[in-house]
A and B are shown apart, each in its own frame.
Chain A
Amino acid sequence: MAHDKNHAAAHAHPSGNTYLKIFVILTLITIVEVWAYYIPALVASPLFNPSLIVMSAAKFAIVVLFYMHLKFDHKLFRALFSGPLIIAGATIVALMFLFHKLSL
């Protein structure tokens, strides 16, 4: 039955030790972000902002995929989250162009 499968899938989550490893990874990425903030040479680099955004996106994805279990959950839930997220991201980028914060 569909809901039996869903219930079984709900239990196919990582273990407590995996959650702990994920927490350590999230903490390490945050430490790197903050460390980079205090290095003037890095802040002056054109790669500073993009690298911060990449690290933030990685943390976002890790939490959503593992802590929110989207990696293991039904595809409808993935669609319910990814769809609005893509629209939200596109809206931010469009507004940045509209208000000349970004240009081609």
Chain B
Amino acid sequence: MSAHTAAAHAAGHEDGHVHHHYTTTGLDNRKIAIWAFIGSECMLFASLIATYLIYKGKSLVGPFPHTEYVDAAGKVFKPILDIPVTSASTFVLLASSFAMVLALQAVQLKGVPLPTNAGWWTRAQRSSQLWLLVTAMLGATFLGFQAYEFTAFVHEGLTIKTNLFGSTFFTLTGFHGAHVTVGVLWLMSLLWVDRTRGLAGPGDELLVDITALYWHFVDVVWIVIFTLVYLIQ
């Protein structure tokens, strides 16, 4: 740790507010940790996506994702994927990423005076609580879409045990949904902190930055899943 960093570290403890965690690289160890975590998550989702792709088209019984299936009793199963619903949920998740960057920007701009002629959009961009809430609500809406989709699939005869498509589909999208759930809880806790003591300063910026990185990662994973699972036939 350099003399300057050590002094800043000591000063941080004295004033009781700022607690920097700088490493010899000059970078905060928490930000290095979140990027390393995201890197490891790439591996996790790669294994799930690879498993889905390997078993794609190998189910012996339906329902199938893109084609109709008639079983031995003559029961007809329609293609099970509902692209309009999933497209809407994809839009919702993209919008949540937009709200998340605005939340981070709002925290970064705390203390910067607003121009006197600022319009409603400029003013709205300064509310970190608004954008954290919007992000969490959009994340919860995405989860609602997923709950609807899973329920509809089960009613149409596709469960995790039905066929290889069901097993790999529910595992992959279920893992992603679990990540979104963690993200929503994380955002709600950050919103609670913002409401109770306010988020401001470099230390809090980092907290929001780390949350944002996790949230955007969840979004990019869905971008890949949407194309590989839903659109490619």
Co-complex (A, B)? yes
B83 touches A16 (CB 8 A): no
Determine, out of B27-35, B150-158, B189-197, the stretch whose residues face the partner at the interface.
B27-35
- The smallest beta-carbon distance between A47 and chain B, in angstroms, is 12
A101 to B8, CA, bound (A): 55
Q: Do B108 and A11 have beta carbons less than 8 Å apart?
A: yes
Chain A residues positioned under 8 Å from B98 (CB to CB): 19-20, 22-23, 67
Q: Judge if B59 is at the interface, Cβ distance under 8 Å.
A: no
**A60 surroundings in chain B (CB, below 8 A):** 220, 223-224
Minimal Cβ-Cβ distance residue in B for A17: B121
- Which residues of B lie under 8 Å from residue A81 when comparing CB positions? 35, 38-39, 42
Assess the A63–B91 pair: CB atoms within 8 A.
Answer: no
Instruction: State in angstroms the CA–CA spacing of A15 and B101 once bound together.
Output: 10
Give, as a whole number of angstroms, the nearest-CB distance from B71 to chain A: 26
Residues of B within 8 A of A2 (CB): 2, 22, 25-27
Closest CB-CB distance, B85 to chain A, in whole Å?
A: 11
Q: How many residues of A contact B (CB 8 A)?
A: 52
A88→B54 contact, CB < 8 A: no
Q: B70 at the A/B interface (Cβ < 8 Å)? A: no
Scan B127-164; emit 1 where CB is below 8 A from any A CB, else 0. 00000000000000000000000000000000000000
A63: contacting residue among B8, B20, B223, CB under 8 A: B223
Cα A81 to Cα B105 in complex, Å, equals 22
**Is the CB of B200 closer than 8 A to any CB of chain A?**
no
Interface SS of chain A: helix, strand, loop or mixed? helix
Assess whether A68 is in contact with B227, with CB atoms less than 8 Å apart. no
Contact A85 B42 (CB under 8 A): yes
| Chain B 21-77 interface residues, beta-carbon cutoff 8 Å to A | 22, 25-28, 31-32, 35-36, 38-40, 42-43, 45-47, 49-50, 53-54, 56
Which partner residue on chain B sits nearest A31 by CB separation?
B87
Against A, the Cβ 8 Å flags (1 = close, 0 = not) of B90-125 are 110011011011100100100000000000011001
Given contacts A10-B209, A92-B46, contact A52 B227 (CB under 8 A): yes
Q: Are B90 and A30 in contact (CB under 8 A)?
A: yes
Any chain A CB within 8 A of the CB of B216? yes
From A16, A33, A43, A101, name the one whose CB has the most chain B CB atoms within 10 angstroms. Answer: A16
B50 contacts A55, C-beta separation under 8 Å: no
Are A1's CB and B43's CB within 8 A? no
Inter-subunit contact A52/B231 (CB<8 Å): yes
- Does A1 lie within 8 Å of B217, measured CB to CB? no
For residue A84, which residues in chain B have a CB less than 8 angstroms away from its CB? 39-40, 42-43
Q: B105–A1 contact, CB under 8 A?
A: no
Residues on A with beta carbons closer than 8 Å to the beta carbon of B90: 30
Cross-chain contact of A89 among B46, B101, B105, B233 (Cβ < 8 A): B46
